[in-house]
Structure 1
C-alpha cells in the first residue's frame, strides 16, 4: 500500500470511529440529559418511604399520568427518606439536571422554602404535592385537610356512641408539626371533638409508629388504663404503634382512628383493633399533580384545576386543587378501598384475618 492510499484508509477509519463514538454517546445518554435538552423533564420529590403510599401508589400513578399526557416527557424521582436536609440537596440536584418543573411533597414545609426559591430563580416551576410547602409555589394539590381531621373526630365520636361525654378521656396523637397538614388535621379533629369529650392527653407522634407507641404508653401511665375511652391517631402508621401499646397494656375495645387507608390499617379495622381510617384516593391526587406539572411545563393555564386559593406558611397565595376525603369503617371497606381497587379482598383477608373478614362480609 502506497503512502497516499495509507492516508486515505487511516482518514476514513478515523471518521468512522468518530461517528461510532458519537452514536454510542447519544445512545448512552441518561434520561436526565436527554430530557434536559428537550425541556421535557419533571422532578418528583416525595418525603419518605416509611409511609406505604408514596412508593406503592403516588410515584407510579404520577409517572403513568405524565406519560399519558406527554409521551416525550421524563420523570426524575427522589425520596427524602424523612430527611429534610436530604430533600434540600435533592432539589439542588434537580436544578443541576435541568428539570423544568418540580413536584414536591415537603418533608419540612418551612425548611424547604429557600430551596424552592432557588429553583424558581432558575426558572423552574414548583408544584406542592399533598403538603403545602412554603415559598413561591405555582400550584398545590391535596385534600381538604381540615375536613380529614373532622372526619377522624366524627368517626371517633360515632364509635364511642353513648360514651361520648365531656367526662370521657381521649388521647390525641398528632402528626409532625413540620408538616403543615398535621396542624390542619389537628384543627379539624378539635373542631369535631372539643366540648363533646375530654382531651386528656395530646402529643405529637412525629408520624412515627415507635414515637406514637411511646406517647401512648406515657398517656396510659398518666391517665390509667381503665380511664381511656378512645384514641385519636392522625394516621395509620402511628395507629399501628398505638395499637401495640394498647394491647401491651391490656386495653381493648376502644376506638382508634387513623388516616391513609394503609393495608395494615384496613386489616386492623377488620380485626377490630382500629375503628376507622380516612381514605384519600391517591390516583386522583397523583393524576392532578401530573396534569398541573405538564400544563406548567407547556405554559398552559391550570385555572380549571386550581379552583381555590390557600395561603402558605410563608404568606404566599397558592392556586390550589383540593380533593374530597372519605371516612372508612368496617361497614364501607367494600364500597371504598376495595371498589377503587386500592386493596383487593385477598390482600386484606390473609389467613390471619380470614375469620374476621367473613364476619365483616368481605368475600
Structure 2
C-alpha cells in the first residue's frame, strides 16, 4: 500500500494495520511520524500479556481518543540494544511521546534524558525507567510483594513459623523485582522459620528457575523446604516442573501475572496462588496520559500519586492495586473479569475445574 493510500485511511484503521507490521521488534520507518504519533516500546513477547493485552488495549484506547493518531509499536524481544535502536529511531522520526516499558531500567536513563532535552515526553509503563520520565503508570510493587508473601503464609497456615522457604526473585535488571522482593521479605521475615535459599533470576528465565530449583532439591533434599516463592508465573512453571520431576508434591508455590498456564496449575493444585493485575486500567491510563501529553494537556487528574526513581523524584504516577488469585476466588476474579475463558482454563484439568465450580 503506498503512502497516498495510507493517508486516505482513518486513524483507527491505520493503527490496526500498523501494529502487526511493527511486531517482532522491527525498526521500520514511517513518514507519518510526528505530531500525531505515539511510540509504544514493549520489552518482550514471552509473557503473553504484552502482545495479547497491553499492545491491543493501548492502541485501541488511543484510537478512541484520537482518530488521526498512530501508534508506532516495537517489541525489544528482551534485548536492550534492540530497544535502544527502536527508541532512537522514534526520536529521530520526530515522535514526541513514547510509552516505554524498559528491558533494563538503568540502561534506559541516557536515552530518556537525551530525548527529554529534545522535548520528548517519556511515560514509564509497568517498569519505572531511570531518567527524566514525564509520568509513570504501574502497580504498587511493594504491595504486590507483600501480597505474595501473605499468599505463602496462608498456604503454610499454622505451620508457617516452623517452615523453611525458597525464594526465586525476579531479574536484577527489572526495577520492579527489588520491590517485589522487599515486600515479600517484609511479610515473610520473622514469620517463617528460615529462608533456606534465595536467588535473583536473570531475565525472569523459567529454565534458570527450574535449574536452580533442581539444585536446591539436590542440596536440601525433598524435605529441606516447605514452600517456594516465585516472583512471577513463568518462573513458577519451571519450579513446578522441577518439583514434579523430583516427585515432590504438596509444596505450595506462588507466582504473579495470572497467566493461563499458571491458572491451570492453580486449579490442578501444583501452584497455590498467582497475583492478578488487571491490565486494562493500566494500559488505558497510559494511553490517555500519552494522548494528553501529545496535545499539551494536563495529566494531573490521571496521576493520583508520585513515584521516585534513583535519578528523579516526584514523578507524576498512577499505581493500581492487585489481588491474590487462588482456587477459592478464581471464579470471582479472572473468570468474572473475562481475563481468561473457562473453556481454555479447564482444558486438560476438567475434573479439577468442576471441583471448584468452574465448568
Q: TM-score of the superposition, structure 1-length normalised?
A: 0.90
Aligned length: 338
1:344 to 325, 341, 345: 341
Runs of at least 4 residues off by over 2 Å: 24-37
- How far the C-alpha of 1:44 sits from its partner, in A, is 0.4
**Structure 1 segment 114-153 matched on structure 2, within 5 A:** 114-153=110-149
2:253 to 256, 272, 291: 256
1:331 aligns with 2:328: yes
1:196 aligns with 2:196: no
Higher-Rg member (1/2) = 1
Kept in 2: contact 1:104–1:128 (CA 8 A)? yes
- How far the C-alpha of 1:313 sits from its partner, in A, is 2.1
Q: Which residue of 1 aligns with 2:165?
A: 170
1:94 to 74, 90, 95: 90
- How far the C-alpha of 1:97 sits from its partner, in A, is 2.2
**Structure 1 segment 153-302 matched on structure 2, within 5 A:** 153-165=149-161, 167-197=162-192, 198-206=194-202, 207-302=204-299
Q: Residue 255 of structure 2: SS of its match in structure 1? A: coil
1:59 aligns with 2:45: no
2:353 to 349, 357, 360: 357
**What is the distance in 2 between the residues matched to 1:141 and 1:318?**
10
1:108 aligns with 2:86: no
- How far the C-alpha of 1:221 sits from its partner, in A, is 2.0
Kept in 2: contact 1:134–1:316 (CA 8 A)? no
1:304 aligns with 2:301: yes
- How far the C-alpha of 1:314 sits from its partner, in A, is 1.7
User: Residues 218-275 of structure 1, C-alpha deviation per residue, up to 9 Å, x if partnerless?
Assistant: 2112221112100000000000000000111111111100000000000000000000
**Structure 2: gaps (5+ residues):** 8-13, 19-28
Kept in 2: contact 1:171–1:202 (CA 8 A)? yes
- How far the C-alpha of 1:169 sits from its partner, in A, is 1.0
Q: Which residue of 1 aligns with 2:4?
A: 26
Q: Which residue of 2 aligns with 1:5?
A: none
1:47 to 19, 23, 43: 43
**What is the distance in 1 between the residues matched to 2:298 and 2:251?**
49
**Structure 1: gaps (5+ residues):** 1-23
Q: Residue 324 of structure 2: SS of its match in structure 1? A: strand
RMSD: 1.6
Q: Residue 241 of structure 2: SS of its match in structure 1? A: helix
**What is the distance in 2 between the residues matched to 1:218 and 1:25?**
57
- How far the C-alpha of 1:196 sits from its partner, in A, is 0.9
- How far the C-alpha of 1:28 sits from its partner, in A, is 5.5
Q: Which structure has more helix as a fraction of its residues?
A: 1
Q: Residue 78 of structure 2: SS of its match in structure 1? A: coil
**What is the distance in 2 between the residues matched to 1:218 and 1:237?**
18
Kept in 1: contact 2:164–2:196 (CA 8 A)? yes
Q: Residue 254 of structure 2: SS of its match in structure 1? A: coil
